[in-house]
Amino acid sequence: MSERENILGRIREALTLSADVPGHKQNNLLQVVSEEEAAPHIHEWLPAVGETIEDGLALFAKNSAELKTDFRLVDSLEDLNAQITEMASGWKKIATHSGELTDAVGDKLGLPVCSTDEGYEASDLESCDVGITQCDCLVAQTGSVLVTARSAGGRALSVLPPHHIVLAQRSQLLPDLPAAFALLEERYASNYPSFISLITGPSRTGDIERILVLGAHGPKQLTVFCL
Amino acid sequence: MTTPVHQFHTDANRAAQDLQQRAQIQSALSSYETACEARKSAFRDWESARQTAAEIKWDAVNHLDQHLREFADKLESRGTQVHWASNEQQARDIILEIIRSNNAHSIIKSKVMTGEEIHINEALEKAAFDVVESDLGEFIVQLRREAPYHFVFPAMHLKRGEISELFNRELGTALTEDPEELTMIARRVLRDKYITADVGISGANFAIAETGMISITENEGNARLTCALPKVHIALLGIEKVLPRLRDLALFLPMLATAGAGQALTCYNSLYGGPRQPDECDGPEEFHVVLLDNNRTQLLADKQQRDALHCIRCGACLNVCPIYRSIGGHTYGTTYQGPIGSVITPHLRGLQDWKHLSSASSLCGACTQVCPVKIDLHHHLLHNRRNAVIDKPVWREKLQFAIFRSVMNRPKLYRFCVRIGRLMQPLHRLVDGTRLDPARGWTQTRKLPRIAPQTFKDFWRNRK
Ligand code: SF4
């Protein structure tokens, strides 16, 4: 018999005795909130998010400030390009992927580009000063950016260079985590990307005396532009 | 060889007297406590969130066979190789085999507690592979050749000076007192390793049955690099990590971050559902998931303690535990420290050898109160004590209690004993706390109260 069958067999055997549901003295399943009932409630228990898109933007900005994410609302592509050009002084090489927004800025900088679209050398990507990506959505509740292998140019582009710039649109702002997971299901359920990540602030560590240090292994800087 | 209980007592004695270290742990944990309280109060209803989390984990664990089958099938359908290991040895063999068949030499690891459980580093080093921990805390304790002090904060017992000296000695870097510079040293050293490593080994915080994905929570980005750059990715996880649905993460991710580190959400929460797919530009060519039993099914079979498998390893119960704070992480001598370690280690590694951990508790219940999935930890410690005695009665204690019972049931005898005790007590001073003392277990660290000059009954009878 395979080890899989051995283990599953032991599990089935172990589960012949049923265990009490936590918080319920008797094993009375009727009292338990079933998942179908619980799921709609989850968002009611998580931290509050305002009603309007303005509330959402304000909350995202507040969370970004706490997380040390550089969050910038921009009015137009020109504005975006102007701000990125200003940041770019000192950059020697940028990394990016093709996309509606990334194409609109990448070309304008006139710097050598490492594009991840068709694959890349890790050492080449490592030598870039910045990784510019798009995303699936922004989450106001936690100040997070949701990226996938498909939306953000693969797995490493958003983590290997020392600065990660996210280009997003206002319409991509979602209120909370349940909404972000619902979006994933809606967008990808038939064929999920092999990599999905919720990025919440620049890379950090507290492993030395619990003192916060940014840029542990991932980017030291995270900039989120929202058009 | 010293037994676990002997080692525990010696180390506990030493650690409890190391006031400097205790102060460091206290201060690290008190800032955690403030952050954690603030995060909990940001939840609109933390208690309901806990209850739902507990129920979802109950469902996951009590239908574990169905969920695991779904998890494995989904993964396999997208090109992942799923391996099943009943014990440590099998898990090590599977991992070594994958590495050998890929002709790999250098291995980068992100934090994987199950790896500590199966002693994978020792096995890899013995087989002459080059293996490096990439999580900063794990990297530090690996250089010190010591076990993690805490399964969430592995190097919390060290001062920056010690880390600086360690780096100076092992890596030849200049001494510095700046945590940022120390972090950057590790960053520089490890960058090369990611790029040249052939194999990345990670753990997983959750296994999503519905979509066949593992979920990894981290702050540093080391796990993301480990899972992105090497051409082979191996994830090692316990079979209990399952969550039924993807959307369950909307609850579990913020709860894990809140309870574990006082964060709203950990910096990176990443899901991996396969090797690089045809339309993708990077990621490993091979993705292996190793599912480890290692006596978890035995704990599963104990219906009273099954819920200990609901644990999401947030570490909150360690952080609030007065025992952990006094004796520190290494004293436990286990992969999982603190209350949860004391509860599960007897199941994973043998009740009689590890039952002493269940007695190292004040039963204050702080652990139970903070557990985000509502595991009744302090009662489980009592269950372990009970099971240990049923399994192997302690005759001396049995005899003591038999005598106690018979005295308590006979008022005359009781009165006689009290009188004798009162007369004899002054003599006790001669042997107090020494080896000859019959009450040594008590008097070594505590004072024996004086027997009152008269009993209440005497007083009542004699009053005018
Ligand atoms: S037992 Fe509860 S509090 Fe302790 S680590 Fe597990 S989930 Fe966290």
Q: How much is the mean pLDDT over chain B?
A: 94
Same domain membership, residue A177 and residue A101 = yes
Confidence at residue A40, expressed as pLDDT on a 0 to 100 scale:
67
Ligand 1 centre to CA of B375 (Å) is: 7
CA R_g for chain B: 26
Chain B nearest-CA distance from A137, in A, is 15
Query: Which residue's alpha carbon is at the smallest distance from atom 6 of ligand 1?
Result: B311
Same domain membership, residue A101 and residue A32 = no
B313 lines ligand 1 (CB under 6 A): yes
Dihedral of the alpha carbons of B425, B431, B436, B441, in degrees to the nearest 10? 70
DSSP class of residue B80 equals P
The Cα–Cα gap between B268 and A222 comes to 13
Same domain membership, residue A65 and residue A19 = no
Range of the domain at A157: 53-226
Which CATH number belongs to the domain containing residue A65 in this structure? Answer: 3.40.50.10420
Same domain membership, residue A129 and residue A22 = no
Q: Are B354 and B385 in contact, with CB atoms under 8 Å apart? A: no
Q: For A8-22, B322-336, B438-452, which range has the lowest pLDDT when averaged over its residues?
A: B438-452
Q: Are strands A195-199 and B268-272 parallel, antiparallel or unpaired?
A: antiparallel
A6/B307 Cβ within 8 A:
no
Confidence at residue B28, expressed as pLDDT on a 0 to 100 scale:
87
Q: Are B204 and B214 in contact, with CB atoms under 8 Å apart? A: yes
Closest ligand 1 atom to residue B315 Cα is 5
Q: Is residue A47 part of a domain?
A: no
Question: Under 8 Å CB-to-CB from B281, ≥6 apart: which residues?
Answer: A97, A116, A117, A118, A119, A120, A149, A153, A154
Give pLDDT tens digits along chain A (227 positions). Answer: 699 999 999 999 999 998 888 776 544 444 445 555 556 678 889 999 988 999 999 999 999 999 999 999 999 999 999 999 999 999 999 999 999 999 998 777 889 999 999 999 999 999 999 999 999 999 999 999 999 999 999 999 999 999 999 999 999 999 999 999 999 999 999 999 999 999 999 999 999 998 999 999 999 999 999 99
Q: What mean pLDDT is predicted for residues B41-65?
A: 95
Query: Which residue's alpha carbon is at the smallest distance from atom 2 of ligand 1?
Result: B371
Query: A95: number of CA atoms within 13 Å, CB side?
Result: 29
Provide the residue type at A84 as one letter.
I
Confidence at residue A26, expressed as pLDDT on a 0 to 100 scale:
45
Q: Which residues of B touch A12 (CB under 8 A)?
A: 65
Confidence at residue B432, expressed as pLDDT on a 0 to 100 scale:
83
Same domain membership, residue A112 and residue A80 = yes
**Nearest Cα to Cα of residue B228 among B134, B154, B291, B153:** B134
Confidence at residue A28, expressed as pLDDT on a 0 to 100 scale:
43
Percent of chain B with pLDDT over 70: 100
Number of domains in chain A: 2
Say if residue B227's pLDDT is above 70: yes
Length of chain A (residues)? 227
Is this prediction's ipTM beyond 0.90? yes
Q: How many CB atoms lie within 10 A of CB B415?
A: 13
Q: Which of B17-26, B112-121, B455-464 has the highest mean pLDDT?
A: B112-121
Confidence at residue B430, expressed as pLDDT on a 0 to 100 scale:
86
The Cα–Cα gap between B3 and B146 comes to 19
Q: Is residue A199 part of a domain?
A: yes
Same domain membership, residue A71 and residue A34 = no
Q: Is residue A100 part of a domain?
A: yes
The Cα–Cα gap between A184 and A167 comes to 19
Confidence of residue B426 (pLDDT cuts 50, 70, 90): confident
Alpha-helical regions (H) of B127-221: 136-143, 160-171, 179-196
Q: Is residue A121 part of a domain?
A: yes
Instruction: Label residues B128-152 b or e (16+ Cβ within 10 Å = b).
Output: ebebbbbbbbbbbbbbeeebbbbbb
Chain B nearest-CA distance from A109, in A, is 24
Q: Is residue A128 part of a domain?
A: yes
Q: What mean pLDDT is predicted for residues B143-170?
A: 95
Q: Which residues of B touch A176 (CB under 8 A)?
A: 250
3-state SS, residue B92: helix
This model's pTM is above 0.90 = yes
B370 lines ligand 1 (CB under 6 A): yes
Same domain membership, residue A139 and residue A35 = no
Q: In which residue are the tokens 């005899």 written? A: B399
Q: Is residue A23 part of a domain?
A: yes
Q: What are the structural domains, with CATH classification, of chain B?
A: 42-294 (3.40.50.10420), 396-463 (no CATH)
Q: Show the CA angle centred on residue A72, arms to residues A67 and A74, nearest 5°.
A: 160
pLDDT per residue as tens digits for the range B363-386: 999 999 999 999 999 999 999 999
pLDDT per residue as tens digits for the range B255-305: 999 999 999 999 999 999 999 999 999 999 999 999 999 999 999 999 999
Probe residue for ligand 1, chosen from B310, B371, B376 as the CB with the greatest number of ligand atoms within 8 Å? B371
The Cα–Cα gap between B202 and B236 comes to 6
Same domain membership, residue A82 and residue A126 = yes
Closest ligand 1 atom to residue B377 Cα is 1
Q: Show the CA angle centred on residue B178, arms to residues B174 and B181, nearest 5°.
A: 60
Same domain membership, residue A65 and residue A87 = yes
Confidence at residue A24, expressed as pLDDT on a 0 to 100 scale:
60
Q: Is residue A127 part of a domain?
A: yes
Q: In which residue are the tokens 């209990």 written? A: B240
Q: How much is the mean pLDDT over chain A?
A: 91
Q: Which residues of A touch B293 (CB under 8 A)?
A: 7, 10
pLDDT per residue as tens digits for the range A154-187: 999 999 999 999 999 999 999 999 999 999 999 9
Confidence at residue A149, expressed as pLDDT on a 0 to 100 scale:
97
Q: What mean pLDDT is predicted for residues B126-144?
A: 95
Q: What mean pLDDT is predicted for residues B206-230?
A: 97
Same domain membership, residue A195 and residue A139 = yes
Confidence at residue A31, expressed as pLDDT on a 0 to 100 scale:
45
Confidence at residue A29, expressed as pLDDT on a 0 to 100 scale:
45
DSSP class of residue A120 equals -
Confidence at residue B1, expressed as pLDDT on a 0 to 100 scale:
62
Same domain membership, residue A171 and residue A217 = yes
Q: Is residue A48 part of a domain?
A: no
Residue B451 burial (C-beta neighbours within 10 Å; 0-12, 13-18, 19+): middle
Query: Which residue's alpha carbon is at the smallest distance from atom 3 of ligand 1?
Result: B371
State whether the Cα torsion A24-A27-A28-A34 is positive or negative: positive
Q: A158: which 2 tokens?
A: 């958003």
Probe residue for ligand 1, chosen from B299, B309, B314, B378 as the CB with the greatest number of ligand atoms within 8 Å? B314
The Cα–Cα gap between B235 and B367 comes to 29
Question: Under 8 Å CB-to-CB from B223, ≥6 apart: which residues?
Answer: B110, B111, B134, B135, B202, B216, B268, B270
Same domain membership, residue A87 and residue A25 = no
